[in-house]
Structure 1
Amino acid sequence: MEIPSTTSRVNLQKWRLALTLYLNYLVHGFGIIILAQNMTALSGAWHVPLATVSFVISGIGIGRLVAYLITGSLADLLSRKLFVLLGMGCYLIFALGMVANPSIPVAYGLAILAGIANSALDAGTYTTLVEINGGKGDGTILIKAFVSLGEFILPLLVATLANHGWWFGWSFLVMAALILLNLLNVLTVRFPNRAELKQMAAHAQAAHPTNTNHRLGATLLLLGYGYTSMALMIWFTQWVTLFAQQSLGMGETAAHFLLSLYSIGSISGVVVLFILLNRAVSELKLLVSLNLLATVALAALLWAGQTPWVANLTSLMFGFAAAGGIMQTGLTVFMKLYPARHGMVTGAFYFFGSLASFTVPLITGVLSKTSITAAFGGDLVVGLIGSCLMIGLALTHHQREEK
Structure 2
Amino acid sequence: MEMINEDHNIHITSKKRLSLALFINYFVHGMVLVILMQNMLSLAHSWSTSIAVVSYVISGIGIGRLIAYPITGILSDRLNRKTFVLIGMILYIIFLSAMPFASNIVFAYILAILAGVGNSALDAGTYTTLVEINNGSGKSTVLIKAFMSAGDFILPLLVFFLDSRHLWFGISFMLPAIILILNLVNILSIKFPDIQQINDGMEMISSSISKVKKIFATIGLLVYGYTSMALMLIFTQWITLYGLKVLHLSAITSHFLLSLYSIGSITGVLVISFILKQKSCEELLVVILNLTALLALVVINLATTPLVVEAASLVFGFSAAGGVMQTGLTIFMKLFPKHRGAITGIFYFFGSIASLTVPLVTGFLSTKGIGLAFNFSILISLISSVFVILVMMIMKSNKE
With the shorter chain as reference, the TM-score category is 0.7 to 0.9
Q: Is the 8 A contact 2:138 2:276 kept in 1?
A: no
Q: Is the 8 A contact 1:87 1:118 kept in 2?
A: yes
Provide the rounded CA distance (Å) in 1 between the counterparts of 2:104 and 2:245: 28
Provide the rounded CA distance (Å) in 1 between the counterparts of 2:291 and 2:325: 14
Match of 1:48 in 2: 50
Q: Normalising by structure 1, what TM-score? A: 0.83
Match of 2:272 in 1: 273
* % same residue: 51
Match of 2:11 in 1: 10
1:213 positional shift: 0.7
Q: Is the 8 A contact 1:29 1:148 kept in 2?
A: yes
Provide the rounded CA distance (Å) in 2 between the counterparts of 1:174 and 1:257: 29
Q: Is the 8 A contact 2:19 2:130 kept in 1?
A: yes
Q: Normalising by structure 2, what TM-score? A: 0.84
Give the residue type in structure 2 aligned to 1:138: K
Match of 1:236 in 2: 235
TM alignment of 1:362-401, pairs within 5 A: 362-364=360-362, 376-397=374-395
The number of equivalent residue pairs is 394
Identify which range, 138-147 or 19-28, moves more after superposition: 138-147
Q: Does 1:224 align with 2:226?
A: no
- Give the 3 Å change call, closer, same or farther, for CA 70–135 of structure 1 in structure 2: same
Match of 1:22 in 2: 23
Q: Is the 8 A contact 2:43 2:100 kept in 1?
A: no
Q: Is the 8 A contact 2:225 2:350 kept in 1?
A: yes
Match of 2:134 in 1: 133
Provide the rounded CA distance (Å) in 2 between the counterparts of 1:165 and 1:371: 40
Q: Is the 8 A contact 1:221 1:393 kept in 2?
A: yes
Give the residue type in structure 1 aligned to 2:274: I
Provide the rounded CA distance (Å) in 1 between the counterparts of 2:301 and 2:159: 25
Q: Is the 8 A contact 2:205 2:335 kept in 1?
A: no
- Give the 3 Å change call, closer, same or farther, for CA 56–367 of structure 1 in structure 2: farther
Q: Does 1:93 align with 2:94?
A: yes
1:224 positional shift: 0.8
TM alignment of 1:257-272, pairs within 5 A: 258-272=257-271
Q: Does 1:345 align with 2:343?
A: yes
Deviations 1:342-388 (A, max 9, x none): 11211121111121233334445555667766655544443232223
Provide the rounded CA distance (Å) in 1 between the counterparts of 2:238 and 2:41: 12
- Give the 3 Å change call, closer, same or farther, for CA 66–333 of structure 1 in structure 2: same
Provide the rounded CA distance (Å) in 2 between the counterparts of 1:112 and 1:149: 24
Provide the rounded CA distance (Å) in 1 between the counterparts of 2:176 and 2:80: 25
TM alignment of 1:34-45, pairs within 5 A: 34-38=35-39
Q: Is the 8 A contact 2:224 2:388 kept in 1?
A: yes
Q: Is the 8 A contact 1:68 1:119 kept in 2?
A: yes
Provide the rounded CA distance (Å) in 2 between the counterparts of 1:72 and 1:361: 26
Provide the rounded CA distance (Å) in 1 between the counterparts of 2:171 and 2:375: 32
User: Unaligned regions of 5+ residues in structure 2, if any?
Assistant: none
Match of 1:316 in 2: 314
- Give the 3 Å change call, closer, same or farther, for CA 291–268 of structure 1 in structure 2: same
- Give the 3 Å change call, closer, same or farther, for CA 204–395 of structure 1 in structure 2: closer
Provide the rounded CA distance (Å) in 2 between the counterparts of 1:183 and 1:84: 9
1:94 positional shift: 2.4
- Give the 3 Å change call, closer, same or farther, for CA 155–239 of structure 1 in structure 2: farther
User: Unaligned regions of 5+ residues in structure 1, if any?
Assistant: none
1:299 positional shift: 4.6
- Give the 3 Å change call, closer, same or farther, for CA 116–162 of structure 1 in structure 2: same
1:315 positional shift: 3.5
Q: Is the 8 A contact 1:58 1:357 kept in 2?
A: no
- Give the 3 Å change call, closer, same or farther, for CA 81–396 of structure 1 in structure 2: closer
